[in-house]
């Protein structure tokens, strides 16, 4: 559970008890099968603001917690499944999750389609409803399925899921956004296509140098050591640590640092990484003055994992789970790691025979973190295919232009002939 305070919503999912929100009212009708259809005036997720009336049906709760409630529903017009996250809104402040999600546009981040407001049971209660694309599974549930069957997740899926997570992190970090709650439960999956999408930006924040942040953030098993040491000037590298914990968990089949409390979490980390040096502690939190720790040697990474775990998987994990935040490899560097080389091979397909998800369509924004990695991140076969498509498109465009010119010329000639005939007829 994230340390950031959230408020649970207990209101009716269809909004029967609500009154018009700040973006207009809603109405309840029945479809031909007698089901409830809710129609609201919403605002599009993408900027600029555009008001749009949407109707949805088949509401059902699919998740809840201190943050609020998540419902699954279906848009009536296009029959598309959606997820509606309903959270109590403090009217004194702008909702940080909404502000951040409206800035994001990436294939590995869940899309905000619309948002609207409704009133609660109490007079002053206002709820923000975030309408997002629906993705059916999570890495957490998929990994748990394999664990229950005493199996480990196939390595190809670990590579696909982690690669897409690192792409999502590289993108949000390039915008200064820190997610602050990376964990398997927040990694949505389409099991058919193997597409991963990062969700739940309820703890996310744009980090600004010199501005303090709360240290009690991020779910315990995935909490970076600088947070445990009470740092308030941390960086996006806390997400990188969390991603390293997720990778280790998928390789092991269980959390790598399963602490029972904040202090015990540090003990679990020390068991693997050894006791941090004074310099490492200063790098994590320069204001921390307690250095009384038992001296424990680091456990060899090769003995942390099973004997058959690939060396490059262990190598990447060790580069992510570093005490010193600045020593951790960045998400973009992680994408370029040799652990993911298999994904860059031409002709590789999913185990079900389908094409891989989009992996190499990097934007300039993503690559802005380290343009030197472009030659590794975008394999030659993808560059060639893209170049050929561009050439073909250009050729077709030129052909169309030529055909249009010919057509125009013929049309002009026909027009002149017709004009001459008209003149001739008129003269006679």
Return the closest-CA partner of residue 332 out of 202, 166, 188.
166
Residue 341 among the catalytic residues: no
What residue numbers does the annotated binding site for ATP cover? Answer: 86
- Complete DSSP assignment for 398-414: HHHHHHHHHHHHHHHHH
Tokens of 63: 């998740």
Q: Which residue is catalytic, options 12, 181, 190, 233?
A: 181
* Cβ–Cβ < 8 Å for 197, 188: yes
CA 403/CA 407 separation, integer angstroms: 6
Tokens of 168: 């999502």
**Cβ neighbours of residue 387 closer than 8 Å, sequence gap 6 or more:** none
The torsion angle over the Cα atoms of residues 232, 236, 242 and 244, rounded to 10 degrees, is: -130
Q: Quick count: other Cβ atoms within 10 Å of Cβ 168?
A: 27
Angstrom CA distances, 7 to 1, 67, 75, 116, 125, stand at 13, 5, 27, 18, 11
What residue numbers does the annotated binding site cover? Answer: 86
**Cβ neighbours of residue 392 closer than 8 Å, sequence gap 6 or more:** none
**Cβ neighbours of residue 316 closer than 8 Å, sequence gap 6 or more:** 247, 329, 334, 337, 339
3-state secondary structure of 182: coil
Assign residue 174 a region: left if phi > 0, alpha if psi is -120 to 50, beta otherwise?
alpha
- Beta strand extents in 208-275 (DSSP E only): none
* Cβ–Cβ < 8 Å for 71, 59: yes
Residue 383 bridge partners (DSSP): none
CA torsion sign for 100, 106, 108, 112 is positive
Residues involved in catalysis: 181
């Amino acid at each position: 559970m994230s340390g950031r305070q959230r408020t649970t919503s207990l209101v009716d999912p269809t909004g029967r008890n609500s009154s018009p929100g700040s973006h207009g009212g809603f109405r309840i009708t029945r479809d031909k099968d007698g089901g409830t259809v809710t129609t609201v005036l919403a605002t599009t997720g993408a900027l600029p603001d555009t008001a749009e009336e949407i109707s949805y049906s088949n509401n059902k709760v699919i998740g809840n917690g201190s943050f609020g409630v998540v419902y699954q529903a279906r848009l009536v017009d296009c029959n598309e499944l959606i997820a509606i996250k309903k959270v109590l809104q403090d009217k004194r402040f702008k909702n940080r999750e909404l502000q951040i999600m409206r800035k994001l546009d990436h294939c590995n981040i869940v899309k905000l389609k619309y948002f609207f407001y409704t009133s609660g049971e109490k007079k002053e209660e206002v709820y923000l409803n975030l309408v997002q694309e629906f993705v059916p599974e999570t890495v957490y549930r998929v990994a748990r399925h394999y664990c229950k069957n005493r199996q480990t997740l196939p390595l190809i899926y670990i590579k696909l899921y982690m690669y897409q997570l690192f792409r999502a992190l590289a993108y949000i970090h390039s915008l200064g956004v820190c997610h602050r709650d990376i964990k398997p439960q927040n990694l949505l999956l389409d099991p058919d296509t193997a597409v991963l999408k990062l969700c739940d930006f309820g703890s996310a924040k744009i980090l600004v140098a010199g501005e303090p942040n709360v240290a009690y953030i991020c779910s315990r098993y995935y909490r970076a050591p600088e947070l445990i040491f009470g740092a308030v000037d941390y960086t996006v590298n806390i997400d990188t640590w969390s991603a390293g914990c997720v990778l280790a968990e998928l390789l092991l089949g269980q959390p790598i640092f399963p602490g029972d409390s904040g202090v015990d979490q540090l003990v679990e980390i020390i068991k693997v990484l050894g006791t941090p040096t004074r310099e490492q502690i200063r790098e994590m939190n320069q204001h921390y003055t307690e250095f009384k720790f038992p001296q424990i040697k680091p456990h060899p990474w090769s003995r942390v994992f099973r004997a058959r775990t690939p060396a490059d998987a262990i190598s990447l994990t060790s580069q992510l789970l570093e005490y010193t935040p600045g020593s951790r490899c960045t998400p973009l560097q992680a994408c370029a790691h040799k652990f993911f080389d298999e994904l860059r091979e031409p002709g590789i397909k999913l185990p079900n025979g389908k094409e891989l998800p989009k992996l190499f369509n990097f934007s300039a924004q993503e690559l802005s973190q380290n343009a030197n990695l472009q030659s590794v991140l975008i394999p030659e076969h993808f560059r060639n295919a893209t170049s050929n498509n561009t050439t073909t498109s250009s050729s077709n465009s030129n052909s169309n232009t030529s055909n249009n010119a010919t057509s125009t010329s013929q049309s002009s000639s026909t027009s002149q002939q017709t004009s001459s005939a008209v003149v001739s007829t008129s003269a006679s």
